[in-house]
Amino acid sequence: MKERYYKLSILFPILFPFLFWMDGSLMGSPISTSYFQTKEGKIAYTQTGVGKRNLILLPGIGDRKESYSEVAELLAKENSVYSFDLRGLGESDVSFSSYGPKETAEDILSFIREKDLQNVYIVANSMTAASAVYIRSMENRRVLGLVLSGPFVRDKAPLSFGMKMLVQLAFRGPWGPSAWVSFYESLFPLHPPKDLKERSEKLKNNLSEDGRMAAVRSMLLASKTECEPALNLVTGNVIVVMGTKDPDFESPEEEAHWIGTKLSGEVRMYEGVGHYPFAENPIRFSSDVQQLWQKK
């Protein structure tokens, strides 16, 4: 036993620098969280990789920045990758007065401008797809391309009173986090990731914190009308990624092609995939993201 410890003590000075080099963390520990201060509170994010391009990854409603971990690792080999928690979720503050796609867009616009980021590409999921389109309409010289997965970019019809009441009842009270996690798991109808239970448990724990479910309810009820006009201002270098089995859409293919046509973008349909293509097929998804600049 002493001999083993002696050998380890000899190897440690050699291996020590590499322990910090791996994935930007110590011995595989999680990458540290940074915070961006806004007028109403802090927005949490992590940065991995260093490159000429700046990639911003935005999760959907109720989700966390860690859901992009595999994609972020793949993209960080040649890029600076920023994975965000939305206001009120993950490690971000719950001190905000409102939550929704316009608010998310304003947070990220402030981040891009304060950091003076150039060559920006945004990857967004679900509600934040509307945010991404708005951001690019406001900063088309900095933001060069978008990947929109499972995207909600418009309100086809206002929510009925009954649906609003259902949202309030289902996702309120002590059962709220569990109800959301059950809904979250249903969005992987055929091929859930192997670590889905672990993801769900961490999501449930996060949403059990004070103020988190209130943020979720607010986002679910938030309109996209403030972001919709941006659909007429954004064109080209957009990739729409949609799972053919995304249960959030009556016709995933129809919606994907409508958005693709509206934004003069390309459409990628992932066969048998649900609402989170980046979680179900991170290798293919990261390859599609890279098409934003490789095809030029």
Q: Write down the domain spans for the chain.
A: 1-30, 39-294
Q: Quick one: residue 41, left, alpha or beta (phi over 0 = left, psi -120 to 50 = alpha)?
A: left
CA distance 215 to 209: 11
pLDDT along the chain (296 residues), means of 10: 39 37 43 94 97 96 96 96 98 96 97 97 98 97 98 81 72 87 95 93 96 94 92 96 96 97 98 97 97 83
Number of helices (H) and strands (E), helices first, in the chain? 11, 8
Give residue 190's identity as a one-letter amino acid code: L
Q: Quick one: residue 119, left, alpha or beta (phi over 0 = left, psi -120 to 50 = alpha)?
A: left
Cβ contact 227:153 at 8 Å = yes
Q: Which of 115, 88, 91, 82 is nearest to 100 (CA)?
A: 88
Q: What is the CA radius of gyration of the chain?
A: 20
CA distance 87 to 128: 12
Please tell me the predicted confidence (pLDDT) of residue 157: 65
Name the CATH code of domain 39-294 (choices 3.40.50.1820, 3.20.20.10, 2.40.30.10, 3.40.190.10). 3.40.50.1820
Q: What is the pTM of this model?
A: 0.88
Please tell me the predicted confidence (pLDDT) of residue 97: 95
Strands 120-125 and 143-149, bridge-based pairing: parallel
